[in-house]
Amino acid sequence: MSTVIQLKKVTKSYGGAAALDAVDFALPDNAYISLLGPSGSGKTMLLRVIAGFEEPDSGSILFHGNRLDGVAPHDRGIGFVFQNFALFPHLSVGENVAFGLRNRKVDPVTDVRVLARRVQDMLTLVGLKGFDDRAVTQISGGQRQRVALARTLVTEPKLVLLDEPLGALDANLRGRMRTELKAIRERCGVTFLHVTGSESEALAMGDLVLVLDAGRIAQAASSDAIYNRPASAAVARYLNCYNLFAGAVVDDAFIGPAGRFPLNASRRKAPQPAYAIRYDRVSIRPQDAAKFDDEVRIEADFIASEYSGAAVNSFFALDDGHVFEVESHLSHARPPALVEKDRYALVWKKEDALVFG
């Protein structure tokens, strides 16, 4: 598979701090890429550097093998969809989509019939056929998002950058737009780089998921690998589905404030030692229940539960004050009725844990 864009040791400081710290990655052509990271990790800065709105302090960016140093944003062949859509409120849907073609610096489209045909083709592609005369102030959030995407795609970019494109939409619409964005990308055959702070969105949409941590790529892998085999405790934390313990590996055990956990055979190299167990790998048992040899057990006091439809998430207070979470899928079995402040055994298999360091 060919590479559409490659970053080599790209560094960018902002306000005296490194927003991007020697970022290295290459993106394949014709793919949907998710970029996941918490607020302040450098996600938007990375997009701005690729788009040309910011210049890196050092390093290089190659787009289809050509360096982008000093190339103006409008000359890069890279599209950008902003979180707030950035539509022109005084222009109709069709005029918004036509704007980039009519006003671009190189080879602007001036033939009215050609312009109208290109706009109609793009509106059909994004599912807005017949909307060209509508005011952008009179359509829904999801429709405005598709107008913004059409305005970008009509100029035929080789790469499209999306800065949290679903962030301004309500929960139901976000779910529908995930499917629509993937379908539109497949029809266009270009690479989308989709920035998000939502772990579920990143995993659902990305053929490849990049996790950004403190200005560096902490992991680049498939959704399955990111979810089941995070490369570090930081990546596991961003997924919001792992209980994490601090401590140290000593001989055949992980020892920390929560106790001594026997280790399985696998261990991941990581800058900081940590022990992780996914919420849905833990079972809740009575305090006096037996433990098998291949299991790890701790005790905790029940705090509360949250019902989310398909699952129940139960929260427990450990003796060191930390909160431990258990996710029980209702398709398996309804979790036992739990009594607030009562003590329970939380049990998981050794091989289900991830050990870093």
pLDDT per position as a tens digit, 163-185: 888 776 777 777 888 888 898 89
Query: Is the confidence at residue 335, as pLDDT, over 80?
Result: no
Pick the more confident residue, 159 or 264: 159
pLDDT, average across residues 222-243: 94
Query: Is the confidence at residue 297, as pLDDT, over 80?
Result: yes
- Which residues make Cβ contacts (< 8 Å) with residue 292, sequence separation at least 6? none
What's the pLDDT at 265?
65
What's the pLDDT at 41?
87
The whole-angstrom separation of Cα 103 and Cα 13 is 33
Query: Closest by alpha carbon to 123, among 146, 144, 100?
Result: 146
pLDDT tens figures, 2-57: 899 999 999 999 888 889 999 999 999 999 999 998 888 889 899 999 999 999 99
Pick the more confident residue, 325 or 16: 325
The first and second tokens of residue 129, run together, are 């056929």
Task: Give residue 161's pLDDT band: very low, low, confident or very high (50, 70, 90).
Answer: very high
Query: Is the confidence at residue 279, as pLDDT, over 70?
Result: yes
What's the pLDDT at 13?
92
Domains of the chain: 3-233 (3.40.50.300), 241-356 (2.40.50.100)
What's the pLDDT at 36?
94
What's the pLDDT at 336?
79
Percent of the chain scoring above 90 in pLDDT: 55
Task: Give residue 271's pLDDT band: very low, low, confident or very high (50, 70, 90).
Answer: confident
Residue written as token pair 């497949």: 186
Average pLDDT over all residues of the chain: 90
Query: Is the confidence at residue 325, as pLDDT, over 90?
Result: yes
